[in-house]
Amino acid sequence: MGSRRRSAPWLYVLGQCVPFALALLVIAIELSPAHFLYTGPLLTATPALAAVTMGPRGTLAAIAVAVAVSVTTATYNDAWGTQQVYTNLLALLLVSAAGLAASSAARTRRQGELDQVRRIAEAAQEVILRPVPERLGPLRAAGRYLAAEEGAQIGGDLYEVLQTRYGVRMIVGDVRGKGLPAVRSAAAVLGAFREAAQYEDDLAGVMNHCTAALHREAAVPGAYDQAVLLEGFVTALVAQVSDALTVELVNRGHPPPLLLSRGTVRALVPADPLPPLWMEDFAAGPLSGTESHPLAPGDLLLLYTDGLMEARSRDGTFFPLAEAAEKAVAGRETGAEGCSVSPRDVLEVLHRALLRHTGGRLADDAAMLLVERAGA
């Protein structure tokens, strides 16, 4: 997506250096035996180039440097009082004023465009990643999406929680790839889950509907190129919590959820790993493996995407997710209905710990979904 100019950082740096390099070239010529060369056009071009490559602050800095160079060279060459000096200064001031006005107008226009894109992204997020209700049946819940790209709202990570006649059903998934194809795949999987979760009694059947939706989306003419078809698989985890004190899971190549129970953290690793969606041909057996695990009142279940567990610090250390999750719930106070600190608060603590570990920069999008079985 390139909001941080990752595509061509050298071009961005070069554009910012050129105006000041011209000013240095002018002063080098004027203070050397070659000062007879006419450098007025080079100095006048400094604020004009700054207005194109930098914002208003950078343009002001370039103007200040250009004026300082002009005054210094005129004084050094004892050229005050000549028509050439005043002509150069007048041209420099006129170009500076025009450049500053153009830079300010461009900045205002870009900010307006960015605000519009953000509004569209927020609207799309409301459709694709709907807010997680704080209470669903026997569960308290919270979800959070962390975008790696600055200003981004949605991407290839997905989650949803629904109250159904079978209990509370939830999904967390991660689409391989970036950009619009990943968002479209995420939307297809979420749409299928929202529909199938309401009428499909088998949890593995819900996952199969998500697989079928992904194949239908890939079959749309012009929707994907061949490279996306080959690499666009989706890891997904579907869970169900009913009145029974258990959680049922179907894991298709996704990171195992963490069960936080009575001060301990345990990863619910599947006994029979299954391939991600779109990679069914690699399955060694049937794709109907549903596993059940205890989920007592007060227990929490953390579902997440690999952007969280693979986040690294500046020295390359992975984010200690299990340890951070254990610390996030360690200080919770017991109240009349379980714990006074909500899953939303726990996710906030996890988010802050993640930002501290990574220095505020994520290499990949991350999604978190935390549910807690409330007291009786």
Q: Identify the CATH number of the domain defined by range 129-373.
A: 3.60.40.10
The whole-angstrom separation of Cα 110 and Cα 105 is 9
pLDDT at 104: 79
Q: What is the pLDDT of residue 332?
A: 60
Residue 35 is predicted with a pLDDT of 62
Count of helices and strands (H, E) across the chain: 10, 13
Domain map of the chain by residue range? 9-121, 129-373
pLDDT of residue 337: 47
SS3 content of the chain, % helix, strand, coil (to 5): 50, 20, 30
The strands making up 291-294's β-sheet, listed across from edge to edge, are 157-164, 167-175, 234-241, 246-252, 291-294
Residue 33's φ and ψ, nearest 5 degrees, are: -60, -15
pLDDT, one tens digit for every residue, the chain (376 residues): 344 444 455 555 655 777 777 777 777 777 777 666 666 666 777 777 777 777 777 778 877 887 787 777 777 776 676 767 777 778 778 877 887 787 777 778 877 877 777 666 666 666 677 889 999 988 999 999 887 665 455 567 899 999 999 999 999 999 887 777 778 888 899 999 999 999 999 999 999 999 999 888 877 665 554 444 445 689 999 999 998 899 999 999 999 999 999 888 999 999 888 888 878 766 666 667 789 999 999 999 999 999 898 898 888 899 999 999 998 888 664 444 445 578 999 999 999 999 999 988 887 888 999 999 987 5
CA-CA distance, 56 to 100, in Å (whole number)?
Answer: 6
Give residue 110's pLDDT: 78
Q: What pLDDT, on the 0 to 100 scale, is given for residue 40?
A: 63
- Quote the pTM value: 0.68
What CA–CA distances, in Å, run from 66 to 19, 33, 49, 110?
9, 21, 12, 26
The predicted structure's pLDDT at residue 134: 92
**What is the Cα–Cα distance from 77 to 252, expressed in whole angstroms?**
76
- Strand partners for 300: 260, 372
Backbone angles phi, psi at 246, to 5 degrees: -140, 165
In the structure encoding, which two tokens stand for residue 192, read together?
């299928």
**φ and ψ at residue 346, rounded to 5 degrees:** -65, -45
